[in-house]
Amino acid sequence: MHISNGIINGPVAGVFAALALAALTFCVLRGRRDLDDRLAPMAGLVAAFIFAVQMLNFPIFTAGVSGHLLGGALAALLVGPWVGALCVAVVLVVQALVFGDGGVAMLGLNITNMALLGTAAAYLLIAGLLRVLPRTPIGLSVTAFVSALVSVVAASQGFVFEYWLGGTTDLGGNLAGLAGTMAGAHLLIGVGEGLITATTVATVAKVRPDLVYALRALKPAAPAPVPAVGGVR
């Protein structure tokens, strides 16, 4: 979902670059509270893992369209929303500067959609779902799947909003068409994102539940008689 140069005009890209920089600075300030000797290497791994899986474009069963993981929900579940957004941003910066993926001038837009919007939408859902769903592997997997799916659709609509502000082609008032096309494709890509996120998080929770940020940070709403997914460390 990386925007290439020339798709959104310069002034709008510049405004979003400033917005993204401000938001990432805030993430650094809040994320430092979470970053300890255990979370820091884990966050490095999450960034590297997202880079790897973003290379794996999968077909989405509509002719000629593929999608890849964005990683916002995965990062939010494993290292929290603040550090998670920074993880996705690191991936996007490396991709833009070294791999020619997404224009450097478009970096603020891409960070806004995938790192900020995607992670924020995911974490809001994670925080809600983990409090009401049972603390079982299935409860965690459902949380991961739903939050990942919604985060991808949210990110795709972030692009539609940006295109409305500064798209370089006059769609002749057919912005709704673009919104529909983007939402439809990304609903299917979101299913892939959901499956990858749920599988990965369930695996980590099985091996090392203490390394799943969301399980540490979010306590169940009611005094749960059921033990946490992996028990305590």
Partner 1 sequence: MRTRTWGFVAVGLLVALLLAGVVSNYASSQPDGLDSALLKGCTVDPEGEITGGSCPAQQEKAHEVGGPLADYGVAGIDNDFLSTALSGVLGVLLTFAVGGGAFWLLRRRDPAGSGDAGEAARDDRQPAGTAG
Residues 13-72 that bind partner 1 (CB under 8 A): 28, 31-33, 35-53, 55-60, 64-68
4 forms part of the interface with partner 1 (CB under 8 A): yes
Looking at 73, 74, 83, 215, which residue binds partner 1 (CB under 8 A)?
83
Nearer to partner 1, 8 or 129 (CB): 8
Nearer to partner 1, 48 or 195 (CB): 48
The torsion of the CA quartet 216, 214, 218, 29, rounded to 10 degrees, works out to: 90
Looking at 14, 15, 30, 101, which residue binds partner 1 (CB under 8 A)?
101
33 CB-near residues (< 8 Å, 6+ apart): 82
Q: Token pair for residue 52?
A: 């790897």
* Buried/exposed code over 7-18 (b: 16+ C-beta within 10 A; e: otherwise): bbeeebbeebbe
**Please, which of residues 107-126 interact with partner 1 by CB under 8 A?**
none
Nearer to partner 1, 147 or 200 (CB): 200
**Is the dihedral angle over the CA atoms 93, 52, 193, 210 positive or is it negative?**
negative
Query: Which 3 state secondary structure label does DSSP give 104?
Result: coil
**Please, which of residues 132-161 interact with partner 1 by CB under 8 A?**
156, 159
Size, binding site for partner 1 by CB under 8 A: 76
